[in-house]
Amino acid sequence: MKNKQINLIIFCFLTVNCILFNTQLTYAEVKKSSYIKNIEQQILEMEAELEAQNTTYRKRGKQEQSFLKNTDYATKKYLKKCEKKITVIGNSFIDRNEIKKQNLTGELLIEIVLNPDGSVFSFDIIKSSGNKHLKNIVKQIMQEVSPFEAIPKNVLKNNKRFVFKRSWVFVQ
């Protein structure tokens, strides 16, 4: 980690500590504390996770992107069909009693890449709640819903594949 980041963390910690507790800690005392070491470790882990995501994104290549900023009617209609299929199959696949019993809650964000014929080229969990059981449920649902309807040419346009994201929220 860069020294500037560490110094900024220590400065913030000193400032907050002085304001809240009206104490005067020295720079050396704070730098030695386990709290700062824990924060440093969390930052390193986040940087590694971000780098892994960036590497995955770069490997996929730009030719596979389908940007939906100005989504037309045909694309919205196709996405709604995909969402409906995922929701219907997902709801029938999920055992709500099991989720309540195991206290499974969390949110996941996945990116789905479809081939022109509607088959799933890939899907990646790009934001996870950290619950491995929820990840497995989403993976099983994605296997069940594939393939989707073939992608209309006016939706696919000149792209080789169609990319969209879907959020999964598990609540009790």
How far apart are the C-alpha atoms of 90 and 72, rounded to whole Å? 26
Same-domain status, 84 and 52: no
How large a percentage of the chain has pLDDT more than 90?
9
Please, which residues have CB within 8 angstroms of residue 86's CB and are 6 or more apart in sequence?
141, 145, 166
For residue 57, give the amino acid letter: Y
Among 20, 42, 60, the domain boundary falls at 60
- Over the stretch 27-86, which tens digit does the pLDDT of each residue have? 566 556 666 667 777 777 888 888 877 766 665 544 334 444 557 888 888 988 988 898
User: Domain span at residue 118?
Assistant: 62-170
Same-domain status, 14 and 39: yes
3-state secondary structure of 104: coil
- Over the stretch 148-160, which tens digit does the pLDDT of each residue have? 999 998 888 888 8
Among 60, 84, 106, the domain boundary falls at 60
Same-domain status, 85 and 164: yes
Handedness of CA 148, 169, 163, 54 (dihedral sign): negative
Closest CA to 142 of 108, 97, 116: 108
Among 33, 60, 87, the domain boundary falls at 60
pTM listed for this prediction: 0.56
How many independent structural domains does the chain possess? Answer: 2
3-state secondary structure of 169: strand
